[in-house]
Structures are given as C-alpha cells and as structure tokens.
Amino acid sequence: MAKVELRNVYKSYGTTEIIHGVSMDIADGEFVVMVGPSGCGKSTLLRMIAGLEEISGGDIAIDGRVVNNLEPKDRDIAMVFQQYALYPHMSVHDNMAYGLKIRGLPKAEIETRVQRAAEILELSKLLGRRPRELSGGQRQRVAMGRAIVREPKVFLFDEPLSNLDAKLRVQMRAELQALHKRLGTTTVFVTHDQVEAMTLAQRMMVMNAGHAEQIGAPLEVYGRPASTFVAGFIGSPPMNLIPGTLAEGGAVLLADAGARVGLPAALPKFDGRKLLLGVRPEHLEPCDEAAALLVPDVDFIELLGSDVLVYGHLGADRKGARVAARLHGSMAASDGHLALRFTPKHMHLFDAETGKRIEIE
Amino acid sequence: MVEHRPLLKFVSHAVLILGAIIVAFPLYVTFVASTLSLEEILTVPMPLLPGNRFFENYAQVLTAGTTTGSHAAVGSMLFNSMVMALVVPLGKISISIISAFAIVYFRFPMRNFFFWMIFVTLMLPVEVRIIPTFKVIADLGLLNTYAGLTLPLIASATATFLFRQFFMTIPDELAEAARMDGAGPMRFFFDVVLPLSKTTMAALFVIQFIYGWNQYLWPLLVTSEESMYTTVIGIKRMIVGSDAANEWNLVMATAVLAMLPPALVVVLMQRWFVKGLVDTEK
C-alpha cells in the first residue's frame, strides 16, 4: 500500500497539450475516482500513473518514489482494463498466475495466492475455464483477480464496469467496495459515469478538457460544485443554470427573454453583476404563486414512479432558460405554469465569464 | 436455404458429380497408367482399368528411376522435395512472424519505410528477379545445395503481411496487460502472440508446403546434379525426345508419388484449418 502523488502533471502529443498540469495527493488506502466526459484526459492520466504513457511534464510518485521513468512492471501497480484484456489462450488460473510466474515466485506461493484470490472473487470453480467460456461479469472478476494476486501497492481501474449490463454493474460496484474494504489497497478508478463516481469514491477528481475542475469528497463536490462544469456534470438531471443579471438590490435575477427569478435572500453586494444562478432539480419545490421564486412554463413531464421530473422553460414564449424540477410523489403537475421555490442553502452562484463558483458568504 | 425441391436437388447433385468426375478423371488415368506396362500404354485405346505392374513400376522409380530418361531414383527426389517443402514454409513462418512482430509492436525509426519495402516486393514475381537471384546463389557457391534450393524462397512479403494483419487484430490492451504483468517483448511474443497465431501459422504452413513442393522454375535452375533433383524436376528430366521413347508408366508413377504428399498435408491439416477458422480465440 502506498500513497500516490501527482505533481503538476502535463501530457502532450507533439504540440497538442491534452493534460494541463494536474496535481493531487492520494492518501494511503484511499479510493479515488477520476470522472469526466470522454476525451477529458482521465484515462490518459491513469495510463501515465500505470506507465503506459510517457509523462511530458511534472512528476508522479508512488510511495514517495518518483516513477516517471520506471517501466510499468517496476512500479508495483496492477491495472484492470476496460475490455478485461485476459489472455484468450490461457485458463483462468493461468491468467491470474502469469504475472507471478514471470516474477519468478515459487510455485507453492503462486498456488496459494491464486486460490485465495479465486475464493475472494468466487472464481474457484472456474479456474480451469478459458476466458471465452465466461460471462462478462466473470471475466471482469478474473481481470480483478489478476490484479489482486500481485498484491500491488496501487490498483488502477480503467472504466472496468462500462461493458457490463446495468444490473451487473450495480452488483460489481458493491463487490468493488467490499474488496477495497477488505484489502485496503490504494485505488485509482476512472469512469465517465457520475453515479459510479459518487457511489465508489472516497474522494473524486472531476476532470474537464485536461484540467482537474474539482477535487473533493463526493458530497462536497455535489454540495459545492466549484464550477458550472462540475455543477452540470455531477447530478442527474444536471443542475439548472440560469444566466442573468442581479437587480433590485440583489433580490431578483433578470434572466433571458424577460424572465424574473427571485432570490430566497437578497444579495445586495452582487447587485448588477452578471452571473449564473444554479439550483438542483431535486431542490426545487412547488409552492403558491405568491411565494414563487420562479414560474416556468411546463414542456413535458416524466413519471419515474417515486418521483416526477418536470421540464420547462422560463420567460416569454418559452425562449428563456431551461428548468428541470424533481418533485416528490405523484404531483401530476398541471399543464401550463408551475410555481417553484428553493431555499438559500440550495442556491449556487457562478461567475458568468469564468464559470467559477462565487462564494456567497 | 431450407427449400425442398426434389428436381433442384437432383440437378445440383448431377452438376456437382459431373464436375467431380471431370476433375478426377485425369488423376484416375494417371494412376491407371502407372500400373501398366509401356506396351499397354502405347496401345490405342489405352486400357482404363488398372494393370498388374503396380509394384514393379513403383519399385523401379523409387529405387532406380527411368532407363531412357534421368536415372535418378525418385526416392531421393522425394526426400529433396520434402526438404524443400518443409524448410521453405518453416523458414518463411519464422522469419515473417518475427518481422511482423517488429513492425507491429516496436516503434523504431523508419518503421513504415521498412514495412513498405517489404510490401513492395510483393509486386515483383519470382520470374522478374530470378536472374539476379541465380547470380547471387551461384556466386555464393550454393548451386546444387539444399541452401541454394530453399534460401531464396524463404523471404516472403505475403506471410509478413498476413501476420501483420493478424497482429493488428490483437487488442492493444493485451500487450499492455502483459507489460503490467512484467513480460518483456520477447516473453510477450512467446507466451501470447505465438500461441494466438497458431491457426494462422497452420494455414500458412499448408499453403507454403504446397508452394515449396510444387516449385519448378527455381529448382530447375539451381540443380544440375541428379542427386539434387526434386520430384517435379525429376518428372521433367524423365521425359526425353519423342513420345514413344518415354517410359510413360514410370513417369506416371512418379507423378502419382509427387501428388501424394501435398494431398496428405491438406487432408491431415484440414481439421486444424477449420477449427482455426471456427473458434477465433480473441
């Protein structure tokens, strides 16, 4: 087990820079998830930790040792790939044992380690099979087993669940968490799925276009997104972002298409400032017209059973900002208008130019 | 198609059987001729049922060759052919699999240039480069040697290209996983790439075995001693002068012997072949 440090890591292919200086300290035994849309550089970053990609600038240290120029095999890490990358011509047993055999471990030691890993992952009965005789979930487990037997300092996961069906994904998520609890190995996990990130991470790094937009615990990232990107990426449906100008002593946001959105508490110090008002759909609640802060015109409604998703537009002729609200129960909302309010603690403000969070206090 | 139309079935079978007969008939005549005496062959029409000289004819060609044409025993010719048909494919496979491995998995300067160099030689048929090749082999003193017979045929752009295409279908993640497991390039080659290429190698072996066995022009040039003749050349050397001067029964026996090994290889390797095509282990 070890801590992993990224110090101002850069990556460029030729003249194209794709990772622009990312820093993060991953503590010993921590489960860190890197999350972002495809092409944001999260997999590249993981592969740089693994040693499969060269580091163009900055340092990566594992257990206090800078590993920039070390081969993957000398970094004491194990990686689980998206497509599993099992050796097709070897049995499950041999797949797991291969790395140990190369390392020249004694046969008895290999045997105990493989048996133990097989037990943890419930693969004992499948040891003689070839990968093609296994289901997707079983293959995924073998790939994990291959990582476990190595007893590495760090586990790296590159979107390991994205090839599984939805149900299996939930199950594997739970197994991964149990595994981490049991082994306590430092883990870096890459995914584009924000639900995976929220449920698995002790800390997460939200990446966008080669930058680390925000690093923090899942609830912190959810509760205080550092930028409009994070606000839009984490949470489903994404946070409502309404652009406009604060007016009337900071009590009202004048949005596009003549829409007015009231603020639950006036912010005189930001009066006249252009910004984005953010409220999560689940923090909007229906109320009387009189107490309403915003009144969107309803476009359509999705019934989820426990909840109702209402989508609408602000402003005249539905030309203003889009608004989504997640309402409890079967509030089969009336067509037409929907009066909504929210509390000050659920209000987020972002700078209109930079998209960065504006601290209200 | 699961159509059930008796007439269609009858016609298609008739066509297939007729085709098979047309293809098989010359082979049958060859075999029949190899069991007759020379006099019987020269009668018109030639008998179409096997004669009683099967053992005599085959024993004679295997040990002594013909009396009017070449005197080389076909036994040693078969051995020469076998050497050629084994060394050429084995050499081809080992050399091209290594070059393809280098081209696909290593980033070295001018990698593409070298690949295209190899690829371009595909466009030069043997006949075009046969004189310079002969000169080189002659200067090296390799005429009438096994090396001279096989070496020039070992270099192969086709096989290299085939292996390259196959390697490119092996997922990159597999190479990366092997790197993670601590396997060096050669270890990866022997433990992963080679086992995965088994079926490709088998296919190439069959094709190249037949190619090596049936070589005509090149062995004709580099062999002048009877002891180095291959079977195909042997047949050519047995035929001298006018029609009646040839011992056709012996020539035909040699032809049958020349046909057997390639046929055997195809029949024996066929199961492997099909297996390889059916379950792609990727």
| Sequential DSSP letters for A261-297 | EE-SS--GGGTT-EEEEEE-GGG-EE--TTT-SB-PE
Buried b (16+ CB within 10 A) or exposed e, A29-64: ebbbbbbbeeebbbbbbbbbbbbbbebeebebbbbe
pLDDT for position A344: 85
> Where is pLDDT greater, at A184 or A290?
A184
For residue B14, the model assigns a pLDDT of 94
Indicate the number of domains in chain B.
Answer: 1
Query: Would you state the structure tokens that stand for residue B93, as one six-digit string?
Result: 């496979």
- Confidence (pLDDT) at B16: 95
- Choose among B176, B183, B105: nearest CA to A156: B176
Nearest-CA residue of chain B relative to A85? B174
DSSP state of A13: E
- For residue B267, tell me if it sits in a domain: yes
Q: How far are the Cα atoms of A57, A172, B277 from residue A355, in angstroms, in the given order?
A: 27, 35, 56
Note whether B180 contacts A82, CB cutoff 8 Å.
no
Q: Is residue B245 part of a domain?
A: no
The minimum CA-CA distance between A86 and chain B, rounded to whole Å, is: 7
Helix or strand or coil: residue B29?
helix
Distance from CA of A294 to the nearest CA of B (A): 51
Q: What local confidence, expressed as pLDDT, does residue A1 receive?
A: 64
Per CB-CB distance under 8 Å, the chain A contacts of B189 are none
Give the CATH number for residue B236: 1.10.3720.10
- Model pLDDT for residues A243-262, shown as the tens digit of each residue: 888 888 777 888 777 778 88
Asked whether residue A217 carries a pLDDT value surpassing 60, the answer given is: yes
Check if the beta carbon of residue A279 is closer than 8 Å to that of residue A325.
no
pLDDT at site B28: 92
**B183 closest CB neighbour out of A82, A83, A102:** A102
Q: Which residues of A touch B171 (CB under 8 A)?
A: 83, 85
The residue in chain B having the minimum alpha-carbon distance to the alpha carbon of residue A146 is B181
First to last CA, chain A: 40
Under a CB-based contact definition with an 8 Å cutoff, are residues A215 and A204 in contact? yes
Of B171, B178, B281, which has the smallest distance from its Cβ to A89's Cβ?
Answer: B281
Q: Is B154 part of any domain?
A: yes
Name every residue whose Cβ is closer than 8 Å to that of residue A64 and which is 6 or more positions away in sequence. Answer: A2, A3
Contact A277, A295 (CB under 8 A): no
Whether the bond into A88 is cis, omega within 30 of 0: no
Instruction: Give the A window 119-148 contacts with B, CB below 8 Å.
Output: 130, 132, 146
Query: What pLDDT does residue B281 have?
Result: 47
pLDDT for res A287: 83
Other CB atoms closer than 10 Å to residue B54's CB: what's the count? 15
Distance from A181 to chain B by nearest Cα, in Å?
24
Residue A61 has pLDDT above 80, yes or no: yes
Q: Judge: A87–B187 Cβ closer than 8 Å, yes or no.
A: no
Q: What is the span of the domain harbouring residue B155?
A: 74-240+256-278
B-chain residues within 8 Å CB-CB of A146? 177, 181
Residue contact B187–A102, C-beta within 8 A = yes
% pLDDT > 70, chain A: 98
CA distance B250 to B260: 16
Contact A132 B281 (CB under 8 A): yes
For A:216-275, CB contacts with B below 8 A are none
Reported CATH class of domain A4-233: alpha beta
What are B82's two structure tokens? 């076998």
Contact B181/A98, CB-based, under 8 Å? yes
Residue B35 falls inside a structural domain: no
Nearest to B179 among A72, A88, A89 (CB): A72
Residue B80 scores a pLDDT above 70: yes
- Nearest CB neighbour to A73, from listed B182, B192, B282: B182
Domain boundaries, chain A: 4-233, 240-358
Q: What string of DSSP letters covers B155-182?
A: --HHHHHHHHHHHHHS-HHHHHHHHHTT
d(Cα B37, Cα B32) in Å, to the nearest integer?
10
Q: What is the model's pLDDT at position B189? A: 93
Torsion angle (degrees, nearest 10) of CA B147, B150, B153, B156: -90
* CB contacts, 8 Å: B178 with chain A: 87
Q: Cα–Cα distance between B39 and B36 in angstroms, integer? A: 8
CA distances from A28 to A7, A151, A172, A204, B226 (A): 16, 14, 23, 15, 78
Distance CA A112, CA A116 (A): 6
Domain assignment present for residue B24? The answer is: no
Q: A233 to chain B nearest CA, in Å?
A: 28
- How far from chain centre, in Å, is Cα A129? 34
- Is residue A70 scored above 60 in pLDDT? yes
Q: Is the pLDDT confidence value at B277 over 60?
A: no
pLDDT exceeds 70 at position B195: yes
**Structural tokens at position A318:** 């539905």
Give the residue-averaged pLDDT of A132-141.
Answer: 86
- The answer, for A13 touching chain B at a CB cutoff of 8 Å, is no
Mean pLDDT score, A151-158: 89
The pLDDT, as a whole number, for residue B83 is: 92
Closest CA to A285 of A346, A345, A339: A339
Q: Which amino acid is at A330?
A: S
As given in the structure block, the two tokens for residue A89 are 């011509």
Q: Which chain A residues are Cβ-neighbours of B201 within 8 angstroms? A: none
Q: Which residue of A has its CA nearest to B183?
A: A102
What residue has token string 């870096």?
A: A188
pLDDT of residue B93: 92
CA distance B29 to B47: 9
pLDDT tens digits, B211-255: 889 888 888 888 888 888 888 888 888 887 666 677 888 888 889
The letter for the amino acid at A314 is L
Question: Does residue B87 surpass a pLDDT of 90?
Answer: yes
Q: What ipTM describes this predicted complex?
A: 0.78
pLDDT digit string (tens) for B96-153? 999 999 999 888 888 889 888 888 887 777 778 888 889 999 999 988 899 998 988 8
- Chain A residue closest to B173 (CA)? A85
**Beta strand pairing status for A154-158 and A186-191?**
parallel
Residues of chain B with Cβ-Cβ distance to A86 below 8 Å are 177
pLDDT digits (tens, 9 = 90+) for A164-181: 888 888 888 888 888 888
What pLDDT shows up at residue B282? 41
Q: What is the CA A212 to chain-centroid distance, rounded?
A: 12
Beta carbons of B187 and A72 less than 8 Å apart = no
- A53 to chain B: which residues are within 8 Å by CB? none
- Using a 10 angstrom Cβ sphere, with 0-12 exposed, 13-18 middle and 19 or more buried, the burial of residue A16 is exposed
Give ∠ CA B2-B3-B9 in degrees, rounded to 5: 110
End-to-end CA distance of chain B: 30
Q: So what's the pLDDT on residue A332?
A: 54
Pick the closest to residue B166 from B158, B177, B176, B155 (CA basis). Answer: B158
The answer to whether the peptide bond before residue B171 is cis (omega within 30 degrees of 0) is no
Question: What residues contact residue B282 under an 8 Å CB cut-off, 6+ apart?
Answer: A88, B169, B170, B171, B196
Report the C-alpha gap between B52 and B69 in whole angstroms. 23
CB contacts < 8 A (A, B):
60
Q: Could you give phi then psi for residue B145, rounded to 5 degrees? A: -130, 160
Of A52, A87, A103, the CB nearest to B182: A103
* A151 at B interface, C-beta within 8 A: no
Q: What is the nearest CA distance from A237 to chain B, expressed in angstroms? A: 34
Q: Please count the CA atoms within 13 angstroms of the CA of A32 that sit on its side-chain side.
A: 26
- Whether B88 is in a domain gets the answer yes
CA distance B84 to B208: 10
Longest alpha-carbon distance in chain B: 76
